[in-house]
Structure 1
């Protein structure tokens, strides 16, 4: 990629198309993995097999009243993207602090968890917060709800929920890696700072940073093994990295132990904590014969199936692009049109933002979608 990033960088047409495919793949792949795991999230592997056969789930199963339903994992991931776009748009004003913009986006997500529907009086919310289908509780994590229960933003110096290392931050953090024009250490730092808004334990936020670096490498066209090695190098510089580092190393070690099985997945944990969710997702992505195989492996276990499926889907979708995603799952995916709109808006902002807003003039339609206020 000869030139990357928003704010005036020049992209070739083929580069733009490749980037858009990876962004779409990341968001749609994550949502598919989320939907595959949503109906079996709290079930043991034995119960899954009893209900769905020895192979476990092999297709979408009903959750929240329909097939293809997504959970809070996808909801929060979409608001991560919304916040990143808003940060780029607000850069023109000189108010350049992406953690604040992402935090405001997460507060908009939090409103969807207690409001009946969009508040048309809040014109500055932008278009995503007006999507009525998002106003539905999908088993959100307690740390996410409490961390966003007021407007005070958690920071690394004063994080929210300092003892929480649940997977609620890592499962929403793949989009930070789509900032391909940024250096990896800055992507890592932004993901870590935004994770601390709800999950203040070092493992809770460092796992989010690690996923962002892995996603960043994949979005730049690197292979998954190299991406994990980069994440390990960044983790090594941070206090409290040991649990996340060990979890990633266990995932790499499991790859060398033979054919992938649910038992091997479960040897890495259950996925309720950040480092276990990351480890399981990375392992399943590394051994995946294709996206279908990797996602089914990532959800058929006794643990947090939707989160491990979502993270694995983020990784495989970014690695292979949208055209590798199974179409039979895409057609039933809840919110697919919204996800595609958001993915394409993100791609346009990152590759052509200078044409949408800046000193020479701004698109009123774009600023209505992503207000600067």
Structure 2
């Protein structure tokens, strides 16, 4: 039975970590602690009364849209392409929000998210993502388009782990969808293996009510089976095991994170997130704070930490301070609910849902996203 609280927790948790970390993304530790005090940033840094999300959460929403668009087309037309092809289409839509102005006046927009003016904000989008999508985002695990292992692939795939919970599709297949979604823009095996692993971790937590420890260990084993010939699979396995070990030894958090890296590349992002979520698995606030107060890619490490721990704890256990003032909170909740409820319209059935059709068939739905 799908638990909507877990779906909401995963996406809101990710957005919360993203928003907390976005304010300090390009600051060194000494700058963070000098500006915010000995504990670093512990509350949202508001702009116009909003905790701003970055490209991490923006692309996460478009990933979710791709999944729902694919299923809806399959159920209403009786035929569909691969999920990654719809995700690719949605990343092209996201690219338009970063390079064009709202509103886009066209008869058909493909994504209803192009009707949300706030998503046209440019929040330090990753250059690899922009460049790859500009050229079509046509990468795959078999035919990589570059050698990037930046974290732009892993930080956006959490909806895939959620969406395939309690579906007949195998873990191997849903993991590969995560890998292929990342490989659209990131061709290094350490650019897409962590994405597949995050998908596995989240699905395992939500579907099986697994502990974070068990989900991580299962994901590592699954990646070894899924990518046995990947050139850097041993490096991935090693850093993940190090993250688990460090989380259990009670080391100083900054020192532990320094051993894992800065999070600019995907395996480091996931390792830091696993460390924080595992060490503080019953304390969302501390986990998020630790995940962003370091030298590295704070919004991405915060986002992935929030995805994992939000899925584990659920939305109701996320502190209210991370819900208040969060930019696009209602939209994020709506997407989480759509992922959980899924498409119920079929080609030959009598069931109708005008809002769903407006979103995922006509792409014309408009809502107040403030």
Q: Same fold (TM over 0.5)?
A: yes
Residue of structure 2 equivalent to 1:75: 58
Query: Which of 115, 119, 144 lines up with 1:134 in the alignment?
Result: 119
1:66: how far off? 5.5
Residue of structure 2 equivalent to 1:285: 277
1:127: how far off? 2.1
Q: Say if 2:343 is the partner of 1:342.
A: no
CA-to-partner distance for each residue in 1:192-216, whole Å, 9 max, x for gaps?
A: 1111110000000111101110011
SS in 2 for 1:123: coil
> 1: CA distance between counterparts of 2:111 and 2:189?
32
> 2: CA distance between counterparts of 1:242 and 1:363?
48
SS in 2 for 1:236: helix
> 1: CA distance between counterparts of 2:45 and 2:29?
15
- Structure 1 segments of 4 or more deviating over 4 A? none
Residue of structure 2 equivalent to 1:229: 217
1:262: how far off? 1.8
CA-to-partner distance for each residue in 1:204-253, whole Å, 9 max, x for gaps?
A: 01111011100110111111111111111111121131222111111011
SS in 2 for 1:267: helix
Query: Which of 166, 182, 185 lines up with 1:198 in the alignment?
Result: 185
Task: Tell me if structure 1 keeps the 8 A contact 2:272–2:291.
Answer: yes
Residue of structure 2 equivalent to 1:330: 323
State which drifts further: 338-347 or 164-173.
Answer: 338-347
Q: What is the 5 A alignment of 1:239-254? A: 239-240=230-231, 241-254=233-246
> 2: CA distance between counterparts of 1:322 and 1:358?
34
Residue of structure 2 equivalent to 1:108: 93
1:118: how far off? 3.2
Q: What is the 5 A alignment of 1:197-216? A: 197-216=184-203
Residue of structure 1 equivalent to 2:355: 365
Residue of structure 1 equivalent to 2:254: 262
Q: Say if 2:287 is the partner of 1:294.
A: yes
CA-to-partner distance for each residue in 1:164-195, whole Å, 9 max, x for gaps?
A: 00000000011111111132111111011111
> 2: CA distance between counterparts of 1:118 and 1:101?
22
TM-score (norm: length of structure 1): 0.90
Task: Tell me if structure 2 keeps the 8 A contact 1:281–1:298.
Answer: yes
1:158: how far off? 2.0
1:22: how far off? 0.8
State which drifts further: 76-85 or 114-123.
Answer: 114-123
- Unaligned stretches of 5+ in structure 2? 364-370
CA-to-partner distance for each residue in 1:263-306, whole Å, 9 max, x for gaps?
A: 21222110000000000000000011410010001001111110
SS in 1 for 2:361: coil
1:43: how far off? 0.9
> 2: CA distance between counterparts of 1:73 and 1:66?
20
Query: Which of 7, 19, 24 lines up with 1:40 in the alignment?
Result: 24
Q: Say if 2:74 is the partner of 1:87.
A: no
State which drifts further: 147-156 or 357-366.
Answer: 357-366
1:260: how far off? 4.7
Q: What is the 5 A alignment of 1:313-324? A: 313-324=306-317
Task: Tell me if structure 2 keeps the 8 A contact 1:126–1:371.
Answer: no
Residue of structure 1 equivalent to 2:35: 51
- Unaligned stretches of 5+ in structure 1? 1-14
> 1: CA distance between counterparts of 2:180 and 2:106?
30
Task: Tell me if structure 2 keeps the 8 A contact 1:110–1:148.
Answer: yes
State which drifts further: 253-262 or 211-220.
Answer: 253-262
CA-to-partner distance for each residue in 1:73-93, whole Å, 9 max, x for gaps?
A: 000001111111111111122
